[in-house]
Structure formats: C-alpha cells, structure tokens
Chains A and B, each alone.
Chain A
C-alpha cells in the first residue's frame, strides 16, 4: 500500500473501558443491588440508587460480517445512545436506562430478525472454535455444528425453560480452544487414525527432537535411516499434537474423522465443584452440512436430562445423583471400550466399590 499511513504506536494496550460504558452503567458501577430476569431475553439490574438498566440479549453466530456489526451499531445508536456490549458466549447485549425504551428496542430487534433470548435456565449461545473456516488442525467444522444443533434447539434459547442452564460448546479438535472440557454438553472433533508421515518432507519442515517431544504418549521416535520419525502404532491416541509441531504429519482422514460428545461438566462453583465433562459418545460420523447423527444424540441427552433432573440441577449434577451407569440406560447410549479411561487420570475413574445400579 503506497498511501500515507498514520503513525503506528506499540504496546499501548487496549483502550480504557471507561469510555465505552453507557451512562447508567458508569454512574452505578459497583452499586448494583439485585437483578430480575423478566423474560428469556430481558433482564433488569437495579442499583442502590434506584437507577435501573434493562438488558436485551440476542444471539450472534460469532462469525460476523462488518455489515452486520454496523447494523447492530445502528440499533444501538437508535435505542442505546450508541453503546453496546458482547458477552463471553458471543451474544450481543443492548442496554437501556428506562423501561419505556425496552419495547421499541424489542420491536426493532424482532423486525430485524434477531434471535432474542439466552437468559435464565435456558441454553445460551454456543462457545466454539474455528474449524474448517480457519484452522489447520480441525477434524470437523465448528460453525456448522453450532448452526445445525441450534437450529434444532433454538426454542430453549428463546422461550422453553430447563431445570438449570445448559452450556453447550464445540471444539473442532482435541486442542479444545474454549472451555469445552467443562461444558454440560460439548462436541469435540476427533481423529481415529494415525498421522501419515511424509518422510521426504519431514527433513525440511520439522525439527525432529521437538516432534518426538510433542507426543504425549511417547509414540514417536527418531528414524535416523530416513532422517525422519516413526510412530509406534499401539501407543498413538490420534491427538494430532505432532501435526501441530510437524506439518509433515497430517492426520486428517475424511472417512474416519468424526465427532465425540462429552457431558456433565461445569465451571461454576454453585452447589457442587467445577467438573470436567466426561465421554458420552466416542464417535459419530462427520455428516455435513447438518450432522443429523450428532444433533439426534444431543437431543437424546438433553431430553433425558429434562425428564430426570430436579429443579436447579445441572446436567452433571443430575448424572452424579443417578450414577453414570443409569445415565447410559436412561439415554440408551451404548457403553463401549472407549468409555473406560486409560489415560493420565485413569485409575481415579474406575469403580472402587461394590455399589452400583442395574
């Protein structure tokens, strides 16, 4: 670009947040007393001073065009004095300081086709990663899985209530960017086959010691004859970590890559401690664009939870109460060899008691 550019600055950090706070937020910062959830998409926070802020939440697909961001800005200009915020789960929040401003905002959002909801004991937006849209490591597509799943579950975003919040997440490979490993229901892209070593390329593209060191199960060793590496088949658990370090070890395999489902995790400390998600389904086929096998399994799990959980129980708390053996019988999901842990923390997961249910 030949044109004159403004002078660059370095290490200035992000702009200070105070300039982005709506007036009612700035004036009542740290003074909030309580809040009420008025509907699936509207809540009101009340300050010690009596001031109130109404928040209207809408879903976004996370992947947003600048055109859509500008549309959202138009709405915020019209209704919210030019302020808005995003949530950690990729929703957009519009805030107004007077009750009379809520309905006109809702009307415009509805007219614009925005999906309003995500507040309360419902499904909020889905934390997810890049997938085939942007990542070399992806075993599946994240945006597509989110869209396919939420098209089926959107009523739980916009209206229907659940025993408690259900947090969904999608990661397109086992690196699990995002808090997938602590979600109520999460989808994870997985491989089932060994990386293919392109011996002629390893020489140029990879550093052998770091490639060997990258393998968590020590499956990789140097192969001096070929100036390359070799993999001990029985040790490899298809994590793709070697490929992240050595581009000459591609692991994608269209026929065998697929989606696993893990369930019962949470990050909040409410009632029970934060918990990792555990394996419910080891593999379902990648079947774009709608992944019907995956969305069916998610609905099966969600419906069993709705039928079985007590009020305020998170999915994992419900499973803890009834027991995992009962989870498999209630959902009808098959229990397989893959469900039994043989990795780092395996022994803690085996049943060291004679008490269990049939």
Chain B
C-alpha cells in the first residue's frame, strides 16, 4: 500500500496496520481531522474518557493486562499537559504507550497560538522518545517507529505530536515493513559466559533467593513460564517486587511473599541473609533496598535486565546480564540442565528451615475484633470470595490500601495486577480498571482504592457507565490519607497535618448520580453479603467499605533503614522480634 492520503487518514491506517483495536482519547480543536477519520471507520474503537490523565492510565491498564501497547489520542495544549502524569507513570513502570497529540498548525508554532504548548519539550523527560512531525510524508513512518520503540527493549511511553496542517495535508503513506526501525534493536540475548558463571554459583549456593520484578511480566508469558520451571527445578525461594506479582504464583510453595518497604518478614530477611541473589527483571529500587550500605551484605548478586543502565546503577552486580528475561532464563535453564541439574540440596534445605522459622512470625497478622472492619479483613474476604475466579484482574490506587492489597491478595498469573509502582500515582487505579475492563469485557475487574486516591479521577465514572464497564470500585474508606497519616504517626510526632479526608461525598449517592450502583458496608458481619452483592451486580459498582481509621500497614522498613531493621508493629510479635535479633520496633 503505497498510497497518497491525508495525514489524518494515515494515522488511522497506521494504527490499523499496527493491530490497534482500541484508542483512549478526548477530542479538541487540534485533533478534529483525526476524529473525523475515526468517525468514518469501524475497525478501531474509541473510548471517550473524562480527563486526559484518565486516558493514559486507562491505556496503561489495557497495556498491562494484555501485553499490547496502549494507545492515547488527545488534543494540543491542555490535552497534552493533562497527559503528562500518565506518561511519567508509564515511564517509571515501563509500560508501552503510544500517545498521539494534536498540535497547532506548523505555521503558528511559536506564536503562542490558542492551545499551543511545547508538547515535545514538556514531555521529553517523561517519554522514552517523542517526535514533532512537520511533514505529512513522514507521519506514517514516525507512527510505526513509535510503536516499535514503545514495545522493543525496555518498554515505555512515546509521543507523536502532530500539527493540524499535517493532518489535513496529503502525503505518501509508509507501510509498517518499510518503516525505519533498524537503528533501535536492543540486545535480547545475554552473555553466555556470565550466564554460565551464574549457573556455577547457583549449583553451589547455600542460601539462594530469586528476586523478580516487572521485567518478567514485560518480557511476556514465556518468561513467567520459564521462571516457574526454573524455580520448581532448583527449589530456590522466590520473592517479587510490587510490579512483578503474579509472574510466579502466590500459591506456589516456593513463594515467600513480596519484598520491600511493606514486604514480608521472610522475604526481606531472605534478601538480607542470602548468599546468592538472582535479580530477574527488577531494578533495586529504594523501596526495595532500604539503606544501600547494609543491603544484603553477604551475597553475590546476579542482575538480569534488558536496560544496561539499570545494572550497577544502585547495587553492584557480580553477574551482570544484559538481555531479555525470557531469553536469559531459557539459557540459564539450558546450561543448568546440560551441567546435570545440580544444586546444593543440603544447604538449600537448611535455608528453607530458616525461612520457615521467619514465616512462623506471621508478619501479616492482625486482629479483627469488634464492629469495625479492619482493612486487612476486608481484603481477606475479598480474596476468599474472588480467588476462584480465573478471570480476576486487580487494580489499585496508591496508599496503605495498595500495600494491603499486595499483601493479602494472591496472584497466580502475570498481567492480573495493575498498580502504580514507580511513580506512586494516586488516581491511577480507577482509570486503569476502565482500561482493563475494555480489554477484557467479561472479566471481573476490581479496583482496590483509598477514598482519597479514588476522588482524584472519579470523573471516569462517566466512562464506566457510558461503555457499560462493570468495574468494581472497592474503596477502603478510612477517611484519612492513610499512608501520610501513618508516616506522621511514626515519624512526625503524631502531628496529623492535612491528612484527613474531610467533606467526603456519600459514595452510594455518588454512584447513583452516575447511574451506577453504590454499596455501603461498615459491619464486619455484613461484609461477605455486601461483597457478593457487588460481584453479582452486572454494572459498575462503588463499594464504600468503612474501615478502621488508624490502622497502620506493617511490616514496614522505614526509609533509609536496612532490611533487618523492619518494624513488625503489632505488640504481640515483640517477643519474637527480640529472638530473631536485630529487628527494631
């Protein structure tokens, strides 16, 4: 297809050629020609969000739950600036997003025209790459490049800024196979020498641990399958970051829970005490490492990452392996099998005995008593009542509820857990759940939310109702900016500066005002029935779950502390901590 057509038509053609079925967007003056083309076709579905930030988060939810890039279309000026938070979020969490923005006509750029903003300038630091396309002839080629770059290597958001005259003008369409993409071909195979060295270390290790992250999920289903095979075959314990949950099943017997600031006691102490750490697609984020100087002092560390700049950025890697997780795991398995499937079985068994002792601390314990719902209890019940659903997708907002969701919900498959990890964006979860539901219309999609975060993008109720998206908004309402309150309690002398949620809406009436269903639950005895009512309702639901207002999220490694300086919190565990040694309370 080497055809002449308008820029606007090219955009739609290029999206079709890229296999795009859904675009999340919001129209405006600078994208009207594109919207006109969208109107005249049926191959691509446009989802009209209610705020451009929502469009990007929805596209992130779509991308993360499908493994395909998410596509966003917004207008110039405010449309583009509203997208910035979403783009930054996608950059931090390595989510492939292609964002198309309208721009004022080329001859008006620089004149402070109506709704002009320097979009490529503003978004340069929050995109993997961006382009301002000034000639229609280059438009299709640029869009194909954009998809290539968003998805190859470490995925991320890209942006194509398209002036209105470029959309109107006629030019030559470049097909996908003819597009210039050769200059960006990141290496996917790891160095076989280093992989072999790592296998040697794995054979000898007495206290090994797999530390896995979002990279496993980004690498695709094959990577998760290979990871499971490797873990089962070696018998090594495995923990994961917030972003990597589901790559290895939470129900698997080698699973020791999430690690990091609010990770489990056993996972963090295993990280601290291991002699071989195998980092698979994680990036030694500060929420994971705690105090760098005391991070896992006695281990040799392997780091598998497709992004060379992640390696040795924070933590020195003894076995640096640059490559795609899937390819590298495949090679590790190959080499390990060829060398006779050896492990230090006695060492590893002793290690497991130690880990079981740590597990016995039961660091996630809490007490549900009286007439107030504990947030942990609400999540345990939600888990119990939905765990059997093979089609369950969970999103979260940001705060205590997010950490509790990570602790109390189990994920047995990749791509089922959508949360804002790197940027920690309140307001992410609701639009993300919209995007997930668009991609999986029949699935059970639940957004575990805090009341404060949820209000940040609550306008997306309109989108959920318009497209009959039966998203379940499970709000753990503590009438507090709970995570902020927790830090103020622990670190700022209980001075609760501005951490209330005052003047909250009546969430049931709010749901009804949008034409959705609202459920209020405040009694632990009613909880199961209320959750069932939510699950059985066919449309979108806002579930206002009134929970304990002053619950703290534990365990917690205070920022700047080491893994073995974890706070367990509950008074009843104090003795145990003394025994375990070195644990501050």
Q: Please indicate whether A and B come from the same complex rather than being unrelated chains.
A: no
Using CB atoms and an 8 Å cutoff, list the residues of chain A in contact with chain B: none
Using CB atoms and an 8 Å cutoff, list the residues of chain B in contact with chain A: none
